Amino acid sequence: MASLLKLSTAVRRQTLLAGSRAGSSYAAAFRSALSNEPATEVTTLDSGLRVASESVPSQVATVGLFIDAGSRYEDKHSNGTANFFEHLAFKGTTKRSQSVLEQEVESMGAQLDASTGRDQTSFTARCLSKDVPKLVEILADVVQNPRLDDADVKRAREVILGEIEQVDAGNLREVVFDHLHSTAFQGTSLSNTVWGPSSNIRSIKADDVRGYVNSHYKAPRMVLAAAGDVRQAELEKLAEKHLGKIESTFDGKAPQLSPVRFTGSEMRVRDDSLPLAYVAVAVEGCGVSDSDAMALSVASALIGTWDRTFGGGVNNASKLAVASAHDKLCHNFESFNLTYRDTGLWGIYFECDPLMCEDMLFNVQNEWMRLCTMVTDGEVERAKRQLKTRLLAQLEGPQAICEDIGRQVLTLGRREPLHDVERRIENVTAQNVRDVAMRYIFDRCPAVAAVGPVENLPDYMRIRSSMYWTRL
C-alpha cells in the first residue's frame, strides 16, 4: 500500500509538472501571437483630425467617423440633439438626395450605421475593402453637408418619439440603466439620457441640430478609423481630400465636459403589472485610463454573468451563479464595469421574481463583501481567463476592430496593443482585487435603480448597511 501511495504521489507530481509546463508553453505562444498582431497606426493631420487604421487580411472592411459628441455635452434644454442628428444623418445631404445616397450605398453592397452614446457619436460603413475610398467620401459628405430640412426633422421627431415609447415598454434593461445614471450622477451632464426627454424632442428644430453640429463637429474632436485591407498612407490622403475643410477652430470656447459628481441614492418605479423586477445596483467606479480600471474589470468578471437558460447550473464557477441556480434567485444577472473618461459605474443588474428581490440582493452584497475580504487566487485566475476570452471575442472581424480603434483613439489618443492589454490583465493578483474592492465597494454608498414590482426590494438604508462587514 505504501508503494502504491508513493507511486500515486509521483504520478500526480509528474502530471502537475507536465500541466505546468504545458500551461507555460501555451501562455508563451499566446503572448507571442498577440505580439504579432498588426499594429494600429495613428496620424494627426494639421487640422487636428486623427486618422487611425489596422490592416486586417479580409476582403471586407469597416470605416467610420467617431466624434466627441454625445449626451454628456448637452444641457437640460438641448438633451437629445445628438441623437436627433443620428436620425437625420442619412436622410440626404446638400449634394445627394436620400434616394441617391441609398442607391449609391446599395450598389456597393455596403451598410451604413450610426450610433450615439453618452461620450461619443459614430458613423460607420461596412463594405468591400476596395470601396473604402467611396465610403470615406460619403461619410465626409454626411457630416459636413447635412440637409436638415423641416420635413426630415418632422419625420425624425415622430420616429424618435415612437422609439422612446418602444424602449419604455419593451427594453426595461435600458430604462433601468438610464435611471441608474440619472440618480447616480444627478445634477451633472452624465445623468442625461441619450434619447432626451420627450418635451425636448417635440421642440427641437432644424436650426438647433445645425447649431449642435457646427459647435461639436470640429477636426480636433474627430477620428477617421478603418480596419480591413486598408493602408494608412492612403487613408490619410482620403482624409485630407474629403475632410480637410472641416474647421479646427471654435466660435468661442470649445465644448468641455462638466465636472461629475456621484451621489449615493435610489430611483424606484413601481409597476406591479410587470411580471419581473428589474434592478441595478452600482458604486462609483473609475475612468477608462485609471490604473484601477483593469482590476475592477477582473472583479466584475469574477462575479460573472448568468442566465437560467445557461448550461452548467449549480456547477458554474461563479458562486453567485450557483446560488441563483440552486435557489432560483433570479432569471438572469450581469456584473458590469462601465467606464467613461473621468468616472465609471461598477455594479450588477438582475431580473427576478417579485418575492426574490431581497434574497437576490442579499446574495449579491454577500459576494461583494467576500470580494473585498477573502477572494482567492484560483478565483482571480479563472476571472482573468474569462476576461481575456471575452475581450478577444469582442474583437472578431473588421467592424469590431474599427469601433475599438475609434473609441480608444478618441478617448486616449492611441489604441492599446493587445499584448499590453493581456499583460495588464495577467499582472492583476488576488490582492489587487481585494484592494480595489475595498476602495470602491466596501462601505460605499451605492446607487440603486429599480423598475417593476419592487415592494420586496429592501429600503435604501438596509442596502447601505449591507455594504460592509463588521467581522473583519
86 is a catalytic site residue: yes
The helix or strand, by DSSP H or E, that contains position 463, with its residue range, turns out to be: helix 460-465
Cell reading at 127? 463594405
- What is the side-by-side strand order in the sheet with 277-284? 266-270, 447-452, 277-284, 344-352, 332-339, 305-307
Q: Phi and psi (nearest 5°) for 81?
A: -70, -40
**DSSP sequence for 268-315:** EEE-TTSSSEEEEEEEE---TTSTTHHHHHHHHHHH-EEETTSS-GGG
Cell reading at 57? 487580411
Tell me how far apart the alpha carbons of residues 96 and 170 are, in angstroms, rounded to a whole number.
36
Most distant CA pair in the chain: distance in Å? 91
Of 41, 54, 74, 86, which one is the catalytic site residue?
Answer: 86
Length of the chain: 472
Closest residue by Cα to residue 443 from 330, 365, 326, 354: 365
Q: How far is CA 134 from the centre of its chain?
A: 29
Report whether 268 contacts 454 (CB < 8 A).
Answer: yes
Helix ranges (H only) for 171-225 are 172-184, 198-203, 206-216
Catalytic residues: 86
